[in-house]
Amino acid sequence: MRAMVALLGALMMPIQTAQAAPIPAGVAAVSAMGEWHGALSVSGRSIPLVLHVAGAPGHLTASFDSPSQGALGLPVAAVLQEGSVIRFKINAPEASYVATLSPDGQTLVGEWSQAGASLPLTMTRMAATALAAPARPQMPHPPFPYRSEEVAYNNPAGHAHLAGTLTLPIGRGPFPAVLLITGSGLQDRNETVFGHKPFLLWADTLTRRGIAVLRADDRQVGESTGEVRTATTADFAGDVVAGVAFLRSRQDIDQRRIGLMGHSEGAIIAPIVAAQDRGIAFVVMLAGSGETGETLLLQQKRLIETTMGLPPAAVDRSAQTAQRLYDAVKDAPDQTAADTSLQAAWQSIAAEQGQPSSSVPAQLQVIASPWMRWFVRYDPRPVLAKVECPVLAVGGAKDLQVEPDSNLAGIKLALHANPDVKVLKLPGLNHLLQTADTGQVGEYGRIEETIAPSALQIVGDWIVNHSRSR
């Protein structure tokens, strides 16, 4: 689901920031360029961080990852190296890291400061061997037994221009087609995450079986354009409608056999479109929701924090805080009211904890965004009840982001009047439908498998069967 980086959001205990030691006279500064890894310790919980430093001396740039929170490529606003002292300034979340580079250039020792608190953070340079791209054995490589075409189309209603790739079986057609719909956050057409490209694999798998597949970059990704700051899931559904119209405009696509397959938020969007368009041939929901957005996010928060080992009391407090913040904004009539309500709720929470009044941390301001306010209010079940085409809904048994039992049950109940529905919980799989040990987000990148072969087979067979000529 949509990434909200709440790094150290619960920290309240200030710690005196250590001063970085100056470099000895006559000693040349070692460059900080490279890849660094370390971990913050927060209330007994370890939060791994990866820091990427590039550029040239005097002109350094950087980004960082918080793998356990599913946050990658977060920008560092400024990097300043003065001798052995390096200062990193981060805007979202609002934080800084001031560290001293060891004489051998292998260690950064310093303090991470955020929300009025500081923690010691030591980072170690990653060896070149550790920087090698992780194995991704399922990554498709040419030559391909099908055609790929770069395409583009517009969503006039949303003033968006979408760029993507259409893969087509060899032959004249017309072919059945599937439009892939990405999950939350700004995703590229392959839904790239942790070096995995799940939508590239789905496109390759299905096109080899005779199905044309359209996948597109989200707004503001690649060559796609469109408003994202004020956009909601309903707006992104409009982009899917435009993609369907594009497919219907082509002579090599069978207009009667166009289906939708969405992952996570995409599995919320697909039924929205199908409920309004009776010409959609089928819907596939991968890790889709059968509960309100508010319930889904609170459930996700509890599952992830529990699996990470947080005490039950801490998990309860965290969920209660999130609930209060959602309650503050979800019925706000406009952005100004939402911002004001969120600030008031945050100050009330801080006062109850004996903390000084402060502005809402940058990483939590997203709670007042139009996307979040729409999402926490949205209930997918009334829309699902209007979907008349065949539906396949699958969820991983180890999915911590969209809990499978309650969500699949909600989907099944909402679709009870639909005669062609299949709902499956796939054992051992996580939110990305990988074979997983724990299901934690931090595990996604360590798993070499992009999608479990069993999921590829089950979903592929169902789509092929429901794509036969009518």
My answer on whether 156 and 269 are in the same domain is yes
User: Mean pLDDT over residues 181-187, rounded?
Assistant: 90
Q: pLDDT, tens digit, for every residue of 371-425?
A: 999 999 999 999 999 999 999 999 999 999 999 999 999 999 999 999 999 999 9
My answer on whether 204 and 344 are in the same domain is no
Whether residue 424 is contained in a domain is answered as yes
Whether residue 359 is contained in a domain is answered as yes
**Rounded CA gap, 357 and 338, in Å?**
18
Whether residue 209 is contained in a domain is answered as yes
The residue with greater pLDDT, 306 or 8, is 306
**Rounded CA gap, 175 and 214, in Å?**
12
Model pLDDT, residue 45: 62
Rg (CA), the chain: 24
- Burial classification of residue 453, based on how many CB atoms lie within 10 Å of its CB (0-12 exposed, 13-18 middle, 19 or more buried): exposed
Model pLDDT, residue 82: 85
Closest among 321, 262, 333 to 297, alpha carbons compared: 321
Count CB-CB contacts under 10 A for residue 330: 19
pTM summary value = 0.80
Q: Per the structure, how many domains does the chain have?
A: 3
Model pLDDT, residue 93: 65
Show which of 312, 343, 375 is a domain's final residue.
375
Residues in the chain: 470
My answer on whether 370 and 397 are in the same domain is no
My answer on whether 287 and 220 are in the same domain is yes
Look up the domain containing 349 and give its range. 294-375
Residues 165, 189 contacting (CB under 8 angstroms): yes
CA-CA distances (angstroms) from residue 368 to 286, 331, 337, 373, 445? 27, 10, 9, 6, 30
> Any idea which of 134-148, 154-168, 298-312 has the lowest mean pLDDT?
298-312
DSSP 260-313: EEEETHHHHHHHHHHHH-TT---EEEES---S-HHHHHHHHHHHHHHHTT--HH
Q: pLDDT, tens digit, for every residue of 17-30?
A: 223 333 333 333 57
Look up residue 375 and give its DSSP letter: H
**Rounded CA gap, 180 and 191, in Å?**
10
CATH of the domain at 411: 3.40.50.1820
CATH of the domain at 58: 2.40.128
Model pLDDT, residue 24: 35
Closest among 283, 292, 290 to 422, alpha carbons compared: 283
**Rounded CA gap, 332 and 405, in Å?**
31
Whether residue 280 is contained in a domain is answered as yes
Model pLDDT, residue 25: 35
